[in-house]
Amino acid sequence: MNNPSLDLASLLCSRLCHDMLSPVGALTNGLELLADEKDPEMRQRCFELLEQSARISADKLKFFRLAFGAAGGFGDMVPVSEARALVDALVGNNERITVNWALVSDALPKPGVKTLLNFALIGIDALVRGGTLEIGAEVRDGASEIVVRASGARIAFDADIGRALDGSLPAGELSSRTAPAAMIHQLAESLGGGLQFAVTEEALTMGAVLPAA
């Protein structure tokens, strides 16, 4: 018997594992190199690579803990500075992507922060050739309003992600790539809110209005 909630959770776990594989694998390789390396200069280089991989791993875990998980519960207000730090860390090692922020409110409800982070994740994935990620958020009349725009050369946007965002992708066709979009669609729907998106060859724009729970 299929359980849609369990299937979605499994796919989100798969996405997390996929994104963690590279930095964790780099840690393993670095330790193996360090065990065999005798040259002091090369050993120092190994330590630097290990430090970088450990930092990337920690940054991704912190991001996914809030973007996918229930860190702190679902009823809390979250400082937007925390969301900003998570996104900035996630793109910190990608010199081809610039992030611009327009944050009016000091804090957002947890559903708004989760939506912002997952919009940012989708936007980063779309900028395979680099570009600019613009993120804006505020609370107006008790509702969280979020907009994320990814602009760059030849935006890479899977049509199935769009279908997951608008709720038209059947549950049986979900994948680890589309699961984050499906999750925030379900979140918005549960609050009586909605998501929108528009895509061209040079820009992907996503927006959300989420009434207070």
- Interval 165-189 mean pLDDT: 94
- Interval 189-200 mean pLDDT: 96
Output phi, psi for 192, to 5 deg. Answer: 80, 20
- Model pLDDT, residue 34: 76
Q: Is the pLDDT of residue 73 over 70?
A: no
- Model pLDDT, residue 176: 93
- Model pLDDT, residue 170: 92
173-184 residue pLDDT tens: 999 999 999 999
- Model pLDDT, residue 127: 96
Mean pLDDT of the chain: 90
Q: Is the pLDDT of residue 159 over 80?
A: yes
Output phi, psi for 3, to 5 deg. Answer: -125, 100
75-90 residue pLDDT tens: 578 999 999 999 999 9
Q: Which neighbouring-strand residues pair with 87? A: none
Give the model's confidence band at 152: pLDDT under 50 very low, under 70 low, under 90 confident, else very high. Answer: very high
Q: For the chain, which domains are there?
A: 4-210 (3.30.565.10)
Q: How far apart are the first and last CA of the chain?
A: 31
- Model pLDDT, residue 1: 43
- Interval 111-121 mean pLDDT: 96
Q: Kindly write down the DSSP assignment for every residue of the chain, as one continuous string.
A: ---HHHHHHHHHHHHHHHHHHHHHHHHHHHHHHHHH---HHHHHHHHHHHHHHHHHHHHHHHHHHHHTS-TT-SS-EEEHHHHHHHHHHHTTT-TTEEEEEEE-SSEEEHHHHHHHHHHHHHHHHH-TT-EEEEEEEEEETTEEEEEEEEE-SS----HHHHHHHHT-S-GGG--TTTHHHHHHHHHHHHTT-EEEEEE-SSEEEEEEEE---
Share above pLDDT 90 across residues of the chain, in percent, rounded to a whole number = 66
Q: How far is CA 156 from CA 69, 115, 123, in A?
A: 26, 20, 9
- Interval 58-65 mean pLDDT: 92
Strands 143-151 and 107-109: unpaired
- Model pLDDT, residue 71: 61
State the number of CA atoms in the 13 A half-sphere of 13 facing the CB.
6
In this prediction the pTM is 0.90
88-97 residue pLDDT tens: 999 987 889 9
Q: Are 132 and 198 in contact (CB under 8 A)?
A: no
- Model pLDDT, residue 74: 52
